[in-house]
Amino acid sequence: MNGGRKAARVLWRTVGEVLRARRRAVARACAWSVVEVAPTALFGLAVGQAVDAFRTGRTRDALAWLGMLAAAACAGAVGSRRLYPALAAIVEPFRDDLVRRVTAGALHRSLRGRPDTGAVARLTHQVEIVRDTFGGLLVVARGFVFSAGAALLGLLAMMPEVVLLVLPPLVLGLVLFGALFGAAAVRQRALVVGEEDIAERTAALAEGLRDAVACGGEEALEAELGAAVEAQAAAGRAVARFAALRAVSLAVSGWLPLLLVLAAAPWLMRRGATPGTVIGALTYVLHGLQPALRTLVQGMGGSGLRLAVTLGRILETSAPEAVEPPRAPAVARAPAVELRGVTFAYGPGARPVIEGLDLVVPQGDHLAVVGPSGIGKSTLAALIAGLAVPGEGEVLVAGRPAGDPAGRVLIPQEAYVFSGTLHDNLAYYAPEAGPEEVGRAVDALGAAGLVRDLGGLGARLEPGALAEADRQLVALCRAYLAPQPLVILDEAASRLDAAAEARAEEAFARRGGTLIVIAHRISSAVRARRVLVLDGTRPYLGRHADLPAVCPLYRDLIGRWEAGSQPSGLLGDPDGLHPVLGADLAVDAGQVVADGADRQDEVLGDLRGGGAA
């Protein structure tokens, strides 16, 4: 019963929130509902007065009452016609909000390594159930409130004693129905969860069908899926059994008042009631209360039950806080990036690219990651950005699981530029940035010449017409303006010349926050505060000046670079000095060189099998 009460609470709370958020639409709906129920309020009274008038020979009075009823019916038709646009203004924004909730929740789960295949069922089926049933139940509940209210007001105006006969069984039946609703919600939730389970099992079966056939596992999969389907059918039968109990509450609240009025007719006549009064009271019960009650019980017991449970399931699984509870105290003191025993491989049987990696990047650090092509540098960037999920271990950014775009910005080698103005492209992550702030970023990155050549910040860009280096410069300025404290540059300046790359990295170092550079040139490592070397056997982490003594690969890299292109006297003092590589070096077997516009990356020949870091 706890699950049923929780589902009911979710439904009422959500309905309350929706109605409060759209007060104007609710006010219009209430106003037109009053007009719509005008015939109900007048029906019993007009029929009773007309009966008494015909009985006493006052035909003209009877026709006048019936004429008033006809006019009220016309007014009710106008009110009904104008009511539905107001209801749509409540329902459709609610449906849009649910779609956003489901999508956000699924993305949060996927970014944290828990793919949410059940979200497909919620988005394509359950959201539509909620939207349709919410709209229908809004009509039903509104109709009951206004119709029952109009009927009771009519009874009160006609003869107050009749209200004492009608109201108690009406309330008793509604209370009984409320108790049944909670119990039925438990079974309905099992039906909804089973639907998601079948969707997940079906998706997994479709992905692994070829392997299942190859391994002869068809019978086992058939039995497993068949059991899930049978459990779903049993839950459906349990929900159907509760439908029979709804008839009891309807009999108490709808038919018992009718019997009480008939049984009390002599008593009412002794208290001054006329035959028309008794007939009018029966009219209010039969044509006012009973239809509204029947619609309410059937609607809430069927569609309302599905709405309560399905809505609760959507909100339960789609709230980002349910995916990863906030840990505010840890965020303030946590490192910018922390990897704990991270292992990653491209596929179940593939050799790990990253294996058992532990790494701590403090807040405000400037880390360069170097190593041969294919050794896992870009994979590491993807793991930190949350675009890849480790098979083992944990990746934390500011103490939280990686993947939250609010905490980091990643600029890959293939820079993205969209059609629009140059200002829109540069300020994409900082839409509030003004021309002065954008101009400072342009100057810091050395992009003033590009902005001038393109025709200013208001110039419209054609992405296909820009050179790769220009696209990278635009993307770098965009990242510089971004408010995120962690910037990851994955060979983001590979198409720029060495001097432009050096200026960009220096600008990001002065910008503040934490900078991780997947190095394209060894000079990026010289500029960094610390260097991570991935050499295929084990990772090495340290200062540029200290690593050559402990890492053979790094010693080889800077030795070849120093001998081929670096001015003398700079390698010994990396702090405050910014060497710039010269022209392309000759590349032969066993070298790792990435120093020119052609981006030639050669893998060392003696990595002892290319072991994972």
The pLDDT tens digits for 1-27 are 444 455 556 556 666 777 777 788 888
Asked if the model's pLDDT at residue 241 lies above 50, the reply is: yes
Per-residue pLDDT at 317: 53
DSSP string, 68-111: HHHHHHHHHHHHHHHHHHHHHHHHHHHHHHHHHHHHHHHHHHHH
Q: Given a cut of 50, is residue 570 above it in pLDDT?
A: no
What type of residue sits at position 148?
A: A
Domain spanning 2-319, CATH architecture: Up-down Bundle (1.20)
Contact 536, 592 (CB under 8 A): no
pLDDT (average), residues 443-449: 92
Residues 338-366 have a mean pLDDT of: 90
Give the amino acid at 46: A
**pLDDT tens, residue by residue, 274-284:** 999 899 889 98
pLDDT at 568: 34
- Rounded to an integer, what distance in angstroms lies between the CA atom of residue 248 and that of residue 258? 15
On the question of pLDDT at 43 being above 60, the answer is yes
The label of the residue with tokens 């039968």 reads 237
Per the CB < 8 A criterion, the answer to whether 438 and 457 are in contact is: yes
Q: What percent of the chain has pLDDT over 90?
A: 23
**Mean pLDDT rounded to a whole number for the chain:** 76
Pairing of strands 486-490, 408-411: parallel
128-142, 326-340, 406-420, 535-549 — which is least confidently predicted?
326-340
Tell me the pLDDT tens digit for each residue of 278-304. Answer: 998 899 888 888 888 888 777 776 666
pLDDT tens digits, residue range 100-159? 665 665 555 554 444 444 445 445 555 666 666 677 777 777 888 888 888 889 888 888
- List pLDDT tens digits, range 158-196: 888 998 898 898 888 888 877 777 667 666 666 666 766
Length of the chain (residues): 613
Q: How confident is the model at residue 597 (pLDDT cuts 50, 70, 90)?
A: very low
CA distance 279 to 402: 72
219: confidence class by pLDDT, cuts 50, 70, 90: confident
Question: Would the pLDDT of 234 be above 90?
Answer: no
How far is Cα 278 from Cα 293, in angstroms, rounded to an integer?
21
Spatial neighbors of 209 by CB under 8 A, at least 6 apart, are none
Say if residue 445's pLDDT is above 80.
yes
pLDDT bucket at 575, cuts 50 / 70 / 90:
very low
The top-level CATH class assigned to 333-564 is alpha beta
Counting residues of the chain whose pLDDT is more than 70, the rounded percentage is 70
pLDDT in tens, 487-546: 999 998 888 888 899 999 999 999 989 999 998 788 899 999 999 998 777 888 999 888
CB 517 within 8 A of CB 489: yes
Tokens, residue 219: 């019978």
* Phi, psi at 490, each rounded to 5°: -95, 85
Q: Are 491 and 413 in contact (CB under 8 A)?
A: yes
Task: Name the residue with higher pLDDT: 568 or 493.
Answer: 493
**Arithmetic mean of pLDDT, 394-416:** 89
What pTM does this model have?
0.43
Cα–Cα distance list, 348 to 313, 537, 611 (Å) = 32, 21, 17
Q: In angstroms, how far is CA 126 from the centroid of its own chain?
A: 14
**What residues are paired with 338 via a beta bridge?**
360, 396
For the chain, give every domain's residue range: 2-319, 333-564
Sequence-distant (6+) residues with CB within 8 A of 594 are: 373, 494, 520, 521, 600, 601
In the chain the first and final C-alpha atoms are separated, in Å, by 53
Residue predicted with more confidence, 592 or 506: 506
Residue range 479-491: mean pLDDT, rounded: 93
Average pLDDT over residues 469-477: 93
Structure tokens at 404: 């939250």
The confidence score (pLDDT) of residue 183 equals 66
Q: What is the mean pLDDT of residues 241-254?
A: 77
Min mean pLDDT across 120-124, 462-466, 552-556 is at: 120-124
For residue 74, the tally of other CB atoms under 10 A from its CB is: 11
Give the separation between CA 43 and CA 151, rounded to whole angstroms: 8
CA dist 78 and 259 (Å) reads 34
